Amino acid sequence: MSGLTAAFSPQIAEANSNQEKLKEIQEKKSQNLQERQQKESEIQGVQEEQDKVAAEIKRLDTAVSDAENKIEAKQQEIDQTKENIAKLQEEIKVLEKRIAERDKLLKDRVKAMYQNGGTVDYLDVLMGAKSFGDFLERVMALNTIAEQDKNILEEHKADKLALEEKKAEVEAQLNDLEQKLGELEKLKADLNAKKAEKDALMKKLEKQEGELHSYVEDLKENAETLSAQEAAVKKEIARQKAAAEAAARKAAAEKAAREAAAAKKASSSNSNSGGGGNEPAPAPVSSHVGNSGFSWPTSGRVTSQIGSRWNKFHAGIDIAKSGSVPVRAAAAGTVFRSYLSGSYGNVVFITHYINGQTYTTVYAHMRNRAVSQGQTVSAGTYLGTMGNTGHSFGQHLHFELHKGSWNANKTNAVNPLNYLP
């Protein structure tokens, strides 16, 4: 019985390894769920902040609209004031014309007085009267002249004062309106600046929300991959258990057959010769496995290797070739994901168990997919055709090899060139 146990110890060790990998995947799923919940909480916070900014933008929009209405009203006042100014300017022209005419009249009077030898000698005029009636007429004439001179001077003074007042009124009204218009325009500029600042913040928040949504979608995609990987591991565990049980039954049957054959031979030998030596049992046939167990997934030229690229970790190698190039499974295993990814494009994930070690291979950017999730494949099974789907630049196969299970951080990624013949 100890020999039988030793014969199946690799299967037992592999089953234990599978259980450990299954536990690791379940832990990754739990971490993924916690991270998704955290990011969704962050998204909710960003959305609440967006609501606040949107309310502030709405308030600023209302304030800008109110300022624009006030500016429009003030502009109408300015237009009306300009019309009033035009009327005042016409009145000013009339006043200036009257003032100019009086200036000419007064200048003529002064000139006449100068030509006559100076001011009018009112006493000579009165004493030159020929009769009392003539005297009265002369007195009245002198009074009329004096009154006219007085009226002319007063009107002249009043017109000049009115001219100055109207000019001052026009300038005051215009300056006041222009000052108020300037204040409103400054207010509008300040409000527009604040609105632009809020718009920029809103765009930043929307971008942040978009990035968080994208991150959550990546987490969901990773969660689906982990769930599929978990199912594949469970399926492989069941397959290995069934294989181990079948192998045990076969080994037991072979042992029983060998024992029966040996007993029969011993009996025959005893009856024929009376005894003889026992011949050794034939050695069991062992199937030889290569050094790595992997073969090239496609033909072509390696254009990019594993390592840092574009400030990111490039978790595999790129193999490029033109034309219709088939992509094949690098080893036997179980397909745990076959889907169209935003980054990987048409991609297939396969779980392998080679020499008691779990491996995962990834075949990305294919033109099409020929296998489905849960399918068991042999080494060399056609998976699809080399393509340029997803985040890709030119036709090639992106091939990853993970020693252990696949995870979003690619911590188990190894250099495929170290495993390919």
Domain boundaries, the chain: 49-207, 301-418
- What pLDDT score does 285 carry? 29
- What pLDDT score does 269 carry? 64
Share of the chain above pLDDT 70, in %: 76
Using an 8 Å Cβ cutoff, are 156 and 106 in contact?
Answer: yes
Query: Looking at 67-81, 144-158, 169-183, 365-379, which range is the least confident one?
Result: 144-158
Share of the chain above pLDDT 90, in %: 26
Confidence tier at 87 by pLDDT (50, 70, 90): confident
More confidently predicted of 138 and 273: 138
pLDDT in tens, 377-418: 999 999 999 999 999 999 999 999 999 989 888 999 999 999
Confidence tier at 373 by pLDDT (50, 70, 90): very high
More confidently predicted of 360 and 90: 360
Q: What is the mean pLDDT of residues 237-261?
A: 82
User: Two tokens at 278?
Assistant: 């026992």
Query: Looking at 34-48, 176-190, 356-370, which range is the least confident one?
Result: 34-48
* Summary mean pLDDT of the chain: 78
User: Two tokens at 420?
Assistant: 């390919």
- Which of 336, 357, 339 minimizes the C-alpha distance to 347? 339
Confidence tier at 51 by pLDDT (50, 70, 90): confident
Q: Sign of the CA dihedral 45, 49, 50, 54?
A: positive
Domain 301-418 sits in CATH 2.70.70.10: yes
Specify the DSSP class assigned to residue 396. Answer: B
User: Two tokens at 139?
Assistant: 């007195």
Confidence tier at 331 by pLDDT (50, 70, 90): very high
pLDDT value at 49 more than 80: no
pTM above 0.95, yes or no: no
pLDDT value at 213 more than 90: no
Phi, psi for 318 (deg, rounded to 5): -110, 130
More confidently predicted of 294 and 17: 294
Q: What is the mean pLDDT of residues 55-79?
A: 78
pLDDT value at 9 more than 60: no
Confidence tier at 112 by pLDDT (50, 70, 90): low
Using an 8 Å Cβ cutoff, are 373 and 336 in contact?
Answer: yes
- What pLDDT score does 7 carry? 46
Q: What is the mean pLDDT of residues 24-48?
A: 76
pLDDT value at 367 more than 90: yes
